[in-house]
Structure 1
């Protein structure tokens, strides 16, 4: 029972920023979101992967291995060898991917950047297709099959028809995108009509596309070059090839412009259109989207159609921009699977996918330079890419290594743990 002689004092309302309350300040909330957010996790995942790559570079260096034998007597020799090995490798990686300081002329020194953008071009397009599927709740791992079908159709148009310059290229681009879209639409229809899981169907269609293109490349009168016994197509005609943006001395071609346009279109589609809203709604919760009146089956089909068209555009960029002398069944060069990594690193966002593809293009272009200059196996680059995926898939591990906060979680301070006593 309350003592009538002791007046009750009301508890003061929580004040923002007051250490005795559980309400964090707005600046603390902002710092928490920045330091623990997905962007920071992606950046630090790349940093951790580069550290792992540095360890592997040091372990495989012969000079480091020799100095390891007398490490305890002269540790400085081994540390110096490790520094020279790692710094030399990453310096060659940078100069092979961004800017070559060994070239006195700026025109020659900037050439590695164009190579990076050229390698990144199909990754941007294919990564956008995979990312769009992710946003709609579809795990499209059939990029290889969709690329091969697009390459087969665009390549056939590219070497079979005599059309004016520009028109020939546009027809080939549209043909390749339609081929990739139709091949992916099979997956969407099976998902919508029968509930078949897209992972199984895309894997099966990858094999079907590979053996179909391989068969056509061995069949005279189909995709095989006339008079040749090798499973290879004829070269593309000049009227269908993407022109170089900065002249024949630079590998970058018109495909990069198509990639930038694709990023803008996908960004607008997902962020500003009603169809993109339906994609995101179905991707978040298909049951709730169905209750809201969205035709989930139709969304699955449209998501795969657009995803396949974008992946098909990546195949077109390969056959009309990079490999114009004819193609074989291995022309996809693993881009269909690398696009999954790019989409994951980009957090399935259009511009995030764009920069992730640039990073992977830089690793590929710089990896060749690193191998040529330092003798380091290019497999190190593949390990770095794999480690990036590993760390991206394990945000708690990255947060634990760098002691990052969890978004939305604020640990109680010593003052906040103290109970506010009410005077009696």
Structure 2
């Protein structure tokens, strides 16, 4: 794909048989240039002399990875319970809006203000996710449908609140945007003012550690895994499947809400906007799939996607490669993840479990 979108490659393809070395050289230059640009934009920039500038790409990757990891955990725990939580956008929007309201409205010392904003944001998102779990448990309503619809309900609720000056809108402004966060409610920088990496990344790492323990060392994790393997067998074994669904969606909402809090209090502290989720709610699905819904796998997948996002801009500016290529790569990842079971179904091949 990189070669096909490169002007030099297409030009040399016109006389491929007359000078094939020109074509292959152009392909190599295009691909090598793209990947080195990706590395410079995501990990280490060797074209500058200042060490702080050299490692800045890595800090950008970590910054982008934080909300992806948190939201991926929220989607992943749903997968482990057999639930498809695609309500990440709505949960992030409500969490960001709630945390933002606390962040710019209240006057408190930082030791109280920041934790309060984080907890309120996560709590609101947890309740929003728990609503889908309650509908699933009580009525059997499919979580895919309910979370999709709740995404839009959340979006228009936040949009409405951003048009009300007594709620989120900046007084005297016609734009749907809130006041900026107060300094006492902003996630502090981890490496100083020269870098954008903030405490949100460490919170995501803590969430990974907590979820690893919950899923692998706790009775709650055992119940979640049991329900995900077979709700019927879990019910026969005495597990309350409905309660487990509600619990899972509460936890999932809180984790996705952490991503929304990360955005509002760390990345976009200039104010709450209707697009604060930045597509992370849907990218988290791919992160969870690639990480096999395991906390450590989601951590690795989140770092990869953060690197793709950070390095994609450098690819575009230095090599004239469209940043949309990163979206194509993410889509291909999902395709390849889905390919093995699809191929087995088409050709009626035995599954790994059957072997």
TM-score, scaled to structure 2: 0.96
Contact 1:166 1:240 in 2 (8 A): no
**1:289 matches 2:234:** yes
- Secondary structure of 2:3 counterpart: helix
Quote how far apart the aligned CAs of 1:396 are: 6.1
2:210 corresponds, among 265, 272, 294, to 265
Structure 1 stretch 208-217 or stretch 98-107: which is displaced more? 98-107
Contact 1:391 1:398 in 2 (8 A): no
**1:194 matches 2:139:** yes
Deviation string for 1:94-152 (max 9, x for gaps)? Answer: 11000111122332211100000000000000000100111111110000000011011
- Secondary structure of 2:4 counterpart: helix
**1:226 matches 2:174:** no
Question: What's the C-alpha RMSD, in Å, of the aligned pairs?
Answer: 1.6
- Larger Rg, first or second structure (1 or 2): 1
Separation (CA, whole Å) in 2 of partners of 1:94 and 1:166? 38
Quote how far apart the aligned CAs of 1:166 are: 2.2
Quote how far apart the aligned CAs of 1:408 are: 7.1
Separation (CA, whole Å) in 2 of partners of 1:85 and 1:409? 44
Tell me which residue corresponds to 1:368.
Answer: 313
Separation (CA, whole Å) in 1 of partners of 2:138 and 2:341? 38
Separation (CA, whole Å) in 1 of partners of 2:68 and 2:33? 27
Tell me which residue corresponds to 1:204.
Answer: 149
Quote how far apart the aligned CAs of 1:406 are: 7.9
Tell me which residue corresponds to 2:255.
Answer: 310
Quote how far apart the aligned CAs of 1:327 are: 2.2
**1:333 matches 2:273:** no
Separation (CA, whole Å) in 1 of partners of 2:187 and 2:97? 17
1:81 corresponds, among 26, 37, 44, to 26
**1:107 matches 2:66:** no
Separation (CA, whole Å) in 2 of partners of 1:370 and 1:154? 34
1:222/1:396 CA distance change after superposition, 3 Å: closer
Contact 1:391 1:397 in 2 (8 A): no
**1:158 matches 2:103:** yes
1:409/1:312 CA distance change after superposition, 3 Å: closer
Separation (CA, whole Å) in 2 of partners of 1:337 and 1:86? 28
Quote how far apart the aligned CAs of 1:409 are: 8.4
- Secondary structure of 2:110 counterpart: coil
Separation (CA, whole Å) in 1 of partners of 2:333 and 2:278? 20
1:299 corresponds, among 244, 267, 290, to 244
Separation (CA, whole Å) in 1 of partners of 2:231 and 2:193? 49
Structure 2 unaligned regions, length at least 5: 345-349
1:83/1:397 CA distance change after superposition, 3 Å: farther
Contact 1:131 1:348 in 2 (8 A): yes
- Secondary structure of 2:192 counterpart: coil
Tell me which residue corresponds to 1:47.
Answer: none
Aligned length: 350
Instruction: Note the 1:220-259 alignment, pairs <5 A.
Output: 220-259=165-204
Tell me which residue corresponds to 2:335.
Answer: 390
- Secondary structure of 1:76 counterpart: helix
Contact 1:96 1:368 in 2 (8 A): yes
- Secondary structure of 1:67 counterpart: helix
Separation (CA, whole Å) in 1 of partners of 2:341 and 2:216? 29
Structure 1 stretches of 4+ with a deviation exceeding 3 A read 396-399, 405-410
Contact 1:148 1:315 in 2 (8 A): yes
